[in-house]
Chain A
Amino acid sequence: MGRIKKSLLIFKFLVISCNKPATDMDTIVNHLANLECTAISLREQRFHIADQIRFTQDTLQHSNNKEDSVRLLSKLQHLNEEKEKVLQQTQSVANMITVKIDSLRQHVLINSNKRKLFNAALDSALSKRGCKTF
């Protein structure tokens, strides 16, 4: 019987190991939520810069004043430099999120129910951090 108990223990261990991604859901979700908050902040910066660029370009197109034009061109140059910085940060965070999601797809996001549970958990984690978009 001791051997049976031992076998059952090993079996139980394997069951737990097999389900490990599910038991680690909180850790996974929290890690992804932290990355996602950074990604959301970077996205807001990109849209803000894009708006500033197009409004500055609009103003520049209608500007007849040489001094204004010089100032607007300088502003555009500064905005483009900002854009490049934010884009580099964006790509770095995007790569980390992609790796995480690819890994989750193998072990966690394997069926519709698990995806729904994961989505709800991520939404909740983002809300707690005050960075859920809507």
Chain B
Amino acid sequence: MKTFSSKYLFIGAVLMFNLVLSCNKEDISPSPLPSDNSARNYSGETVRNYFSLLCKISKSTPGFFPPQVARAYGFVGIAAYEAVVNGIPDAQSLGGQLNGLSSLPKTDPNLEYNWGITSNTAIAEMIRKMFEKKISPENLNTIDSMETANLEILSPGINQDIINRSIQFGKDITDTIYQYSTTDDGHESYLDPFQLPYTMATDSFCWVPTGAVTTPVSPHWGDNRPFLKQDVDNTQPMAHVPFSSVRGSQFYEEAMAVYTQVKSNTFEQIEIAKYWADDPFNTCTPAGHTFNILTQLLEEDRATLEKTSVAYAKLSIAENDAFISCWKGKYKYVLIRPVSYINRYIDPSFTTVIGTPPFPAYTSGHSCEMGAGSRIFTNLFTDGSGNYDFTDYSQLQYGFSARNYSNFNDMAEECANSRFYGGIHYQMDNSTGLQIGRAIGDNINHILNWPTDIQ
């Protein structure tokens, strides 16, 4: 009996021990240095927190329109990746792979680094630099506090030499990438987002102001240097349907389709239009929304520093290049927005569901960026089918319902259609925009050399 009792007590004790462990299960501890010191043995949580913070900073810093936001995320994402690339098995630096980026500082293979610390320093420093001239004291303080708090969590048990070396490497990476950023023609563009002077042509097919903003946003953005040359050179859209004000023409029918859609929108379609428009006053732009979705997916995945850094790097390159390619097309065609056309030729009293953004119609920025993002998500989280059950909770905080998806492609289609429901884009803007974005996403997944066994 005593033997029986002891045996069960032992089993009970083991069960309880395991239970306590599983109850307290947290992300992989970042400190002290793991025995296998690779980025996959660190938590990606600190990086995800910085990307959540980026959304808040983008919203509250003047001059950050969608292209400027995508660019800021772009360089932060590259810094995040390069800070840990030497801690990822079989990973190759983006130096020598990205357009105009020759080489980057390398770690000493004979010395140890803490990848959590290299990442923490590089990201904090790059965010400060990307918003430097307009950042609010409050936002600056938040970045500094986050950096200090992370360092305090990451440092215990780590040799001071390793800490110092890791901080220095993070700074070296940021300095080099920041220098690279100053030559892309988008440097400090938030100081002059309208790139004045700019003269819009006055032909009847041309964009005209649709609200209080009388000059269009960033007309020369398409001349910026993309991270991948092919992302712009090989993705420019075919000419749109020929402009015509003649009733029954193909163009007239495109506009009529918008008009009919807005007049017959269901309640759900109106919600979808508002959901993807984010918010009239409170948005970190479509790129920020897509990054918020990635952050959520990585959190649900409890992604390591390795997977988190690779994921953000891919999306960062995709979003930056999607906006450059899209903007190049927008200012080549300078196409009139549906509301202006409809008011002129169909119904002077027509109004849209959401405000029309101040730049030309063809092609849709949302469609380009989400087309690219959906390809990155598909590559990161699926077997190539795009099938993935998830709920986007990112807009819940602003009073939008959480939305459920089972395929990333469906999500991208819904995002593109939302602009049609909103009355701000012709269908051709959205379908062509999606094609551009998907091509860019595929380029990034397949042209660049990424580590193959991301964990």
Interface residues of B in 378-422 (CB under 8 A from A): 389-391, 393, 396-402, 404
Instruction: Tell me the total A-B contact number using a CB cutoff of 8 A.
Output: 102
Q: Across the interface, do B282 and A36 meet the contact criterion of CB distance under 8 Å?
A: no
Residue in contact with B401 in the complex, picked from A54, A61, A93, A133, CB distance below 8 Å: A133
Mark contacts of B3-22 with chain A using CB atoms, 8 A cut-off: 1 yes-contact digit, 0 otherwise.
Answer: 00100110011011001101
Residue in contact with B271 in the complex, picked from A1, A18, A115, A133, CB distance below 8 Å: A133
Interface residues of A in 64-119 (CB under 8 A from B): 83, 87, 90-91, 93-95, 97-98, 101, 105, 109-110, 112, 115, 119
Q: A119 with B404: in contact, given A36-B399, A83-B281, A101-B396 (CB under 8 Å)?
A: yes
Q: Across the interface, do A90 and B398 meet the contact criterion of CB distance under 8 Å?
A: yes
Distance in angstroms from A111 CB to nearest chain B CB is: 9
Q: Which residues of B contact A42 (CB under 8 A)?
A: 399
Q: Across the interface, do A36 and B396 meet the contact criterion of CB distance under 8 Å?
A: yes
Q: Across the interface, do B16 and A14 meet the contact criterion of CB distance under 8 Å?
A: yes
Residue in contact with A40 in the complex, picked from B23, B389, B399, CB distance below 8 Å: B399
Q: Which residues of A contact B267 (CB under 8 A)?
A: 134
Q: Across the interface, do A94 and B391 meet the contact criterion of CB distance under 8 Å?
A: no
A39 interfacial by beta-carbon distance below 8 Å? yes
Q: Across the interface, do B398 and A18 meet the contact criterion of CB distance under 8 Å?
A: no
Which residue on chain A has the smallest CB distance to residue B296? A105
B280 interfacial by beta-carbon distance below 8 Å? yes
Residue in contact with A43 in the complex, picked from B19, B212, B300, B399, CB distance below 8 Å: B399
Interface residues of A in 25-63 (CB under 8 A from B): 36, 38-44, 46-47, 49-50, 54-55, 57-58, 61
B112 interfacial by beta-carbon distance below 8 Å? no
Number of interface residues of B (CB under 8 A): 37
Distance in angstroms from A17 CB to nearest chain B CB is: 7
Residue in contact with A17 in the complex, picked from B15, B23, B280, CB distance below 8 Å: B23
Residue in contact with A14 in the complex, picked from B9, B19, B401, CB distance below 8 Å: B19
Q: Across the interface, do B401 and A46 meet the contact criterion of CB distance under 8 Å?
A: no
Which residue on chain A has the smallest CB distance to residue B277? A47
A10 to B15, CA, bound (A): 11
Q: A4 with B396: in contact, given A57-B211, A112-B389, A134-B401 (CB under 8 Å)?
A: no
Q: Which residues of A contact B393 (CB under 8 A)?
A: 101, 109
B161 interfacial by beta-carbon distance below 8 Å? no
Q: Across the interface, do B19 and A11 meet the contact criterion of CB distance under 8 Å?
A: yes
Distance in angstroms from B22 CB to nearest chain A CB is: 7
Q: A3 with B399: in contact, given A14-B16, A134-B267 (CB under 8 Å)?
A: no
A119 to B403, CA, bound (A): 9
A50 to B279, CA, bound (A): 9
A46 to B280, CA, bound (A): 7
A70 to B377, CA, bound (A): 51
Q: Across the interface, do A133 and B400 meet the contact criterion of CB distance under 8 Å?
A: yes
B152 interfacial by beta-carbon distance below 8 Å? no
Distance in angstroms from B45 CB to nearest chain A CB is: 11
Q: Across the interface, do B391 and A57 meet the contact criterion of CB distance under 8 Å?
A: no
Q: A101 with B397: in contact, given A3-B9, A119-B404 (CB under 8 Å)?
A: yes
Which residue on chain A has the smallest CB distance to residue B20? A14
30 contacts between A and B (CB under 8 A): A4-B12, A7-B16, A11-B12, A11-B15, A11-B19, A17-B23, A18-B19, A39-B397, A42-B399, A43-B279, A46-B279, A46-B281, A46-B282, A50-B280, A54-B211, A54-B355, A57-B211, A87-B282, A90-B282, A90-B398, A90-B399, A93-B397, A94-B398, A97-B397, A109-B300, A115-B391, A133-B399, A133-B401, A134-B267, A134-B401
